[in-house]
Structure 1
Amino acid sequence: MSDALNPAQLRAYFALTEVTSLLQYAVRQQLQAEGGLSYVQFEILAKLADSDRALTMTELADGVVYSRSGLTHQAGLLEKEGLITRSTSPDDQRATVVDVTDAGRAKVATVLPGHIGVVRELLFDSLDERQVDALGDMMVRARDHLRARPPRSAAPRSARGAQR
């Protein structure tokens, strides 16, 4: 097996990274304009709003693929705004659990229509149903492959700095 990517792999990789960058830029603009939220703050709120229970900081960090220290900072900002609550876990005194407030749910409801509109316009309007299904299948397969690796929170602290 060669170390180099073949031309088709390079084309796919660079197209994927460019699409991701362009889409995230537009989504970030919309979230800031309509809700005063960063992308990671939206991810945190959406993940909590979609969960049927409070999540630990570790679960949240692994779910949104963000560092624990960065997540702690973002959670502090969201808590200050009254959008989430943080408390010590009743099951493990070392763990912090995070939950979304009614104001946090309302914030998600405010920005979600515009978020969906940006994603639909910039990504899905250029594809037919068959292509959307194929893209979904490919992305789920790639995601599952990546998620099969141990989460960042499982890596020893000294090794985490090398992963950034």
Structure 2
Amino acid sequence: MASTPSSLSAVQLRAYFALTEVAGLLKHAVEQQLRDVGDLSWVQFQLLARLGLDSATGSERMTDLADGVVYSRSGLTYQAGLLEKAGLVTRAPSADDDRGVTVSITGAGRDRLATVMPGHVEVIRRQLFEPLSAKDTDALADLLVPVRDHMRAAPPRSATPRRRRES
């Protein structure tokens, strides 16, 4: 069966559905572990991990965090508020942007991250990497990195300008 330009081939569909199913199953397992061990949602974990593991200062602007985790600004504000209420982050006006907010991880946030990381790593290892050889893992990274980079070349939805409402 020939495919039209607007359709996907059977191999493309198989790859797409396998990728979405793997991503969904992995996210479900990770979310369960994060809730059970750290009382954290997936997005809350992503915020703490970006601040505690990826940031040299432990602080980032909210807009940069939203772009990094690909989450709406309003949703991120809500999640950061929950983390702040729990004492895991602080929020303050950005030093270099009058309208911006900077989020910083606290010592308690670093402790919570340290609590969930061993189990998090184990879930990732067991669910994703256990069935793969080292060569397969290299191949998977080689395939996914350029796809991610291609997708990141377009601004995430959190970075797109807000449209004004027509009066």
TM-score normalised per structure 2: 0.92
How high is the sequence identity, in percent, across the aligned residues? Answer: 58
Q: Deviations over 1:33-73 (max 9, x none)?
A: 00000000000000000201210000000011100000000
State the match for 2:121 in structure 1. 116
* 1:127 to 2:132 alignment: yes
- Give the Cα separation in 1 of the matches to 2:50 and 2:159: 20
- Give the Cα separation in 1 of the matches to 2:99 and 2:120: 35
The correspondence for 2:153, drawn from 148, 151, 154, is 148
* 1:85 to 2:84 alignment: no
* 1:31 to 2:27 alignment: no
State the match for 1:12 in structure 2. 15
The number of aligned residues is 159
Per the alignment, in what secondary structure is the counterpart of residue 158 of structure 1? coil
Higher mean Cα deviation, 84-93 or 149-158?
149-158
Measure how far apart 1:95 and its partner are.
Answer: 0.5
* 1:63 to 2:71 alignment: no
- Give the Cα separation in 2 of the matches to 1:156 and 1:93: 18
Q: Which runs of 5+ in 1 are unaligned?
A: 160-164
**Aligned residue identity for 1:73:** Y
Q: Which runs of 5+ in 2 are unaligned?
A: none
Per the alignment, in what secondary structure is the counterpart of residue 96 of structure 2? coil
- Give the Cα separation in 2 of the matches to 1:111 and 1:91: 33
Higher mean Cα deviation, 4-13 or 143-152?
143-152
After TM superposition, what 4+ stretches of structure 1 lie above 4 angstroms from structure 2?
A: none
Q: Deviations over 1:3-30 (max 9, x none)?
A: 1000110000000000001110010000
The correspondence for 1:2, drawn from 1, 5, 16, is 5
Highest Rg: 1 or 2? 2
Q: Deviations over 1:92-135 (max 9, x none)?
A: 22110001001001101000000000110011000000000000
TM-score normalised per structure 1: 0.94
